[in-house]
Amino acid sequence: MKKNRMNAPCTIILAAINVIVFFVLSLRGMTENGMFLLEHGAMYVPKVIEDREIYRLFTSMFLHFGFQHLMNNMIILALAGWNLEIEIGKIRFLLIYVLSGLGGNVLSAWWEVITADYAISAGASGAIFGIIGALLYIAIRNHGRIGEISGRGLIFMIVISLYYGFSSGGVDNMAHIGGLLTGFVSGVLLYWKHNRKSRACFDR
């Protein structure tokens, strides 16, 4: 069982990709500069709609505004992603991560169109909120816990994170909410509780 607890390669790979992309871009320019990130795939709704650059919904998930932004996201990814990947498996973990990142960007884009308030955005936080949303669903299914994480702890984390986002400037709150909801729904669709025992016995 200890071997299983250490088996979360997708979490490590995703974190490594984010870090590598950040340092490669840091050698070419200022990652804190919105226009620089826009040139390298950041999210900007007019570009997506008018120029049909749909790829930005995906590429923006791997870009960060500065080292602190990167580290904040990677720490949460390492902690939350590790637990989710072990619990739900590699493929379903990756599906939740990618779908949540896309879901967060789609809701953010919709909100910007509604409010006509456009901004350059980037970061893995929509996908990470999706991981937390999936963990919350799994904790609910398992009587309030998933491993060493409690459902109450996850709710507290969500509330604090959203409060910080809404009380601070420069935070894409709709991406967080969209990722959270997408992750929760993805957890509902992809997690089957009866697999837990069989996985503990036969996981390879």
Q: Which of 60, 125, 161, 186 is catalytic?
A: 125
Adjacent-strand bridge partners of 146: 149
69 among known catalytic residues:
no
Is-contact 149 87, C-beta < 8 A? no
> What are 21's two structure tokens?
């992309």
Is position 125 annotated as part of the catalytic site? yes
Separation CA 193–CA 176 (nearest Å) = 26
The H or E element spanning position 146 is strand 145-146
What does the alpha-carbon distance between residue 102 and residue 119 come to, in Å, rounded to a whole number? 17
Q: Which one from 176, 186, 194, 198 is the annotated catalytic residue?
A: 176
* Cβ atoms of 74 and 19 closer than 8 Å: yes
Q: Return the active site residues.
A: 125, 176
